[in-house]
A and B are shown apart, each in its own frame.
Chain A
Amino acid sequence: MEKKDDINQRLKELSSRDFISSIVLIGACIFVILVSSRMRVYRSFSDSPAIFPVTIATIIGICSISLFIDSIKRGALQEIKKVWAQKNELIKTSALSRIIIIAGMIIIYGFFLVRHMHFTLATFIFLFGIMTYLKIFWITNLLISAGIALSISYVFGTIFNIPLP
């Protein structure tokens, strides 16, 4: 019984996220159906490029509406008010800032560094930067970053003969 209560409590806490995600998904489905309706019809709609995405979007839309109704039944509106009241504390949590910084570093590495400099150098800079942020002792950090960047390049580029970015 206690286990069932735990599940219900967790589902109640999740209701605000389900509410928001279902609205976003319903909007996305409408958008997909609108874009698909402008696609070219060759012989008939039944074999047109639009039929499969429209079918899938309709199914996702129905599921999302069901999730939306279910989230309201679980008390999504009250949960949203509760979360909104705590928004400042949530933004300040170190976990959130850590995720944003690490994601930013990965984006810089994947979108810019790898594209504009040698893979080994880009990897070294990325590893050294991220491990500095993660507070790894600088000598260990330097050795690991250089060692890993060189080994990855050698193993994949030279031994496995895989083209590196």
Chain B
Amino acid sequence: MEAFFEVLSSEFTLFTNIFSSVVSFNIFFMVVAGTFLGLVVGAIPGMTATMTLALLIGITYNFGFERAIALLIGIYVGAIYGGCIASIMINIPGTPSAAATVFDGFPLAKKGEGGLAIGVGTITSFYGMIIGIICLILFTPIVYQIALKIGAWEYFFLAIFGVAICGNLSSSEQPIKGWIAGFLGLFVSTIGLDPIYNYPRFTFGNSQLLGGIFIIPALIGVFGISEIPKKIGPIIPKLKTLKKYVTNGIRSGLVGVFIGAVPGVGEATASFIAYDMAKRASKEPETFGKGNYQGVVAAETANNACIGGALIPILTLGIPGSVGTALLMAAMIVHGVRPGPMLRTEFPGFTYHVFILMLIASVAMLVLGLLLARPLIALLKIRRDILMPIIVPLCVIGAYAANLRYFDMRVMIVIGILAYIFRWLEYPLPPLVLGLILGDMADVQFRRAMLISGGDPTRVFSRPISVALIIIIILMLFFSTGIGGRISRRISKAFSGSKK
């Protein structure tokens, strides 16, 4: 017991020392400026957190480590939240993580409740950040143990699970079209050099295709411009209203942290899974996708909580939990800090450092989000026939800037046209994007798993986590199809009948 208190006391001393060194005007300014920049960037269609982080890592090289990491964490937190504004108001997720917010956010905006949806999204994003930060501090050792048990098969099934869930969610009347879209996304990600043998797949002699279809132009192309809602409505929700979302918020926050801690999965999957769980737990699941605040709460809490979760594998294993944290990790390495198991020895208190920066960024996000929502919406409220053409050059810059390739611009335009046809055919687009994001991971992990199993896929049944995932996927697919759907409706009818 004495030893425990000794450790606690030394950790507290370390925390206060770090706190006094971190909280200076310079660092505070950098975090707030970063959050503001991230928020604006996240709200502009086509500009993503990943792209901004990628562009700024080089620029922050001369800043010094503390200021650079403060700015980048601010941008990351701000941009993940900022994506919700564009998702709600113009049906275009600024970041892939905000794709699930579109489902209910945009229908709410069409009803004239966009302001309130943004308010709820802002407060629950803050809520998610706090859950993520608490979990980062408290559960790092536990999640570290779970993450260590996850192997190639589990990664592959997690990707399939994410795509299948997303397909279910985005097309409840015809889930099969959602799955087709998701698997098409997975297929498109295989174009280019294969990641194990560098063998060109589906390039048909075109050298530009060797690099594959880059996610940013594809994302910009897929989510075209929809109508801009005219009425915003109030922004700050009532406390009484927010109380209704507490359970959903805690559940989604924990889902976000857990998914974030699984390396390589990231915010997009977390928000989709949390959204699905909220829909299943709801007494009115049929209202999801038509403007239910619980959908916005689930997606926004999970994607922000995921930031804290995604930092856990970086700080403990040196493996990024998402693309955004991968870039943060790159920034740390550029500045001479190598995350991983030795971090605690080489840089004691670094976790607290990150924790404090994230806390400042969260408060800045909450304040700036509520203050700037209206001006940012006003920016998006410009007449559609004026706004639509203006967005095209922004998309062109967005598609070009990441890799400086004209080819990416063309890919963006071609995918945009194909996405328009898909929209007309009523195939949902979010699973396509999720498939594109997870495709690389699914491909590599599937083949790695096959190699480890000596080409024998039945060996997957010796892995309990994989078996659990397979059962969940099969049940989910079964209950979404004809016979399964009828059985599930009968069960729910029987339950509702017995309640009455």
A contact set with B: CB distance below 8 Å? 7, 10-11, 14, 17-18, 21, 25, 32, 35-36, 39-40, 42, 44-47, 49-53, 55-57, 59-60, 63-64, 66-67, 70, 99, 103, 106-107, 109-111, 114-115, 119, 123, 126-127, 130-131, 134, 136, 144, 148-149, 152, 156, 160-165
Contact (Cβ within 8 A) B385 A64: no
Contacts A/B (CB < 8 Å), 20 sampled: A14-B426, A17-B424, A35-B202, A36-B201, A40-B197, A49-B194, A49-B199, A49-B201, A52-B447, A56-B190, A57-B187, A67-B174, A67-B176, A106-B416, A111-B413, A130-B392, A163-B400, A163-B401, A165-B396, A165-B409
Tell me if B183 and A56 are in contact (CB < 8 A).
Answer: yes
Bound Cα distance from A57 to B426, whole angstroms: 20
Q: A56 CA to B392 CA in the complex, in Å?
A: 33
A126 CA / B390 CA spacing, docked (Å): 10
Per-residue CB contact flags for chain B residues 405-419 toward chain A (1 = under 8 Å, else 0) read 010011011001100
**B389–A126 touching, CB < 8 Å:** yes
Q: Does B55 contact A (CB under 8 A)?
A: yes
Cβ of B435 to closest chain A Cβ, rounded Å: 9
- Interface status of B333 (Cβ within 8 A of chain A): no
The answer on a CB contact under 8 Å between A123 and B187 is no
Known: A56-B183, A63-B180, A110-B412. 10 other contacts (CB 8 A): A36-B201, A47-B450, A67-B180, A110-B409, A114-B396, A114-B409, A126-B389, A156-B401, A161-B55, A165-B406
> Using Cβ atoms and an 8 Å threshold, which residues of chain A touch B386?
131, 136, 144
CA distance A134 to B388 in the complex (A): 11
Q: Contact at B410–A111, with CB atoms within 8 Å? A: yes
- Report yes or no: B396 in contact with A99, Cβ–Cβ below 8 A: no
Bound-state CA distance A67–B201 (Å) is 27
Tell whether, in the assembled complex, residue B176 and residue A46 are in contact, meaning their CB atoms are under 8 Å apart: no
B196 within 8 A of A: yes
Which residues of chain A have C-beta atoms less than 8 A from B190's C-beta?
52-53, 56
Contact of A51 among B397, B406, B410, B447 (CB under 8 A): B447
Q: Which residues of B sit under 8 angstroms from A42, Cβ to Cβ?
A: 197
Q: Write the nearest CB–CB distance from A125 to chain B, whole angstroms.
A: 11
How far is the CB of A16 from the nearest CB of chain B, in Å?
10
How far is it, in angstroms, between the C-alpha of A66 and the C-alpha of B7 when the chains are bound? 61
Tell me whether B371 is interfacial, beta carbon within 8 Å. no
A160 CB to nearest B CB, Å = 7
- Complex CA distance for A154 and B194, rounded to whole angstroms: 39
Cβ-defined partner of B389 (8 Å) among A56, A114, A130, A165:
A130
**In-complex Cβ contact of B404 among A46, A127, A163 (8 A):** A163
CB-defined interface of B158-185 with A at 8 Å, one 1/0 digit per residue? Answer: 0000000000000001101101100110
In the bound complex, residues from chain A placing their C-beta under 8 Å from that of B183 are: 56, 59-60, 63
Residues in A with CB closer than 8 Å to B202 are 32, 35, 53
* B301, chain A: closest CB distance, angstroms: 30
Task: Flag whether B370 is at the interface (Cβ < 8 A).
Answer: no
Min CB distance B50 to A, Å, is: 14
Q: B447, A47: Cβ atoms under 8 Å? A: yes
| Distance in angstroms between the alpha carbons of A165 and B196 in the assembled complex | 32
Q: Is the CB of A109 within 8 A of B385?
A: no
Complex contact A21–B397 (CB within 8 A): no
